[in-house]
Structure 1
Amino acid sequence: MNRRIAAVLVAVLAVFTFVPIASAQSTPTLSNIRTGQHAGFSRVVLDLSGLPAEHRVSEVTGVSNCGSGDPVTVAGSGIREILSVTLIGAAAHDDAGNPTYPGSRNFATPGLTHVRGVALTCDFEATLGIAVGYSNPSSWHRVFTLTSPNRLVIDIGL
Structure 2
Amino acid sequence: MRKFKSWLAVLGLLVAFFVVAPSQAQAAPYCGITWGSLAKSAGKLSSAPITSVRAGRHACFDRLVVDINGHGGGHMVRYVATVHREGSGTAVLLRGGAFLQVTVKDPAYIVATGAQAYRPANPNELVNTAGYSALRQVALAGSFESQTTLGVGVRARLPFTVFVLNGPGNQTRLVIDVAHRW
- Give the alignment's TM-score, normalised by structure 1: 0.75
Change in 2 beyond 3 A, CA 1:50/1:111: farther
1:62 corresponds to which residue?
Answer: 82
Between Structure 1 and Structure 2, the one with more helix by share is 2
Query: 5+ residue gaps in structure 2?
Result: 1-45
Letter of the 1:134 counterpart:
V
Does 2:97 match 1:84?
A: no
How far 1:147 sits from its partner (Å)? 0.8
Letter of the 2:109 counterpart:
H
- Give the alignment's TM-score, normalised by structure 2: 0.66
Name the count of aligned residue pairs. 128
| Preserved contact between residue 56 and residue 87 of structure 1 (Cα < 8 Å) | yes
Letter of the 2:101 counterpart:
S
Does 2:55 match 1:38?
A: no
In the alignment, the residues of structure 2 paired with residue 122 and residue 101 of structure 1 have an alpha-carbon distance, to the nearest angstrom, of 11
Q: Name which of 142, 145, 153 aligns with 2:161.
A: 142
Q: Which has the larger radius of gyration?
A: 2
Query: 5+ residue gaps in structure 1?
Result: 1-25
Letter of the 2:138 counterpart:
V
Q: Name which of 135, 138, 157 aligns with 1:118.
A: 138
How far 1:97 sits from its partner (Å)? 1.5
| Preserved contact between residue 51 and residue 151 of structure 1 (Cα < 8 Å) | no
1:151 corresponds to which residue?
Answer: 173
Letter of the 1:93 counterpart:
Y
1:105 corresponds to which residue?
Answer: 123
In the alignment, the residues of structure 1 paired with residue 143 and residue 166 of structure 2 have an alpha-carbon distance, to the nearest angstrom, of 22
Letter of the 1:120 counterpart:
L
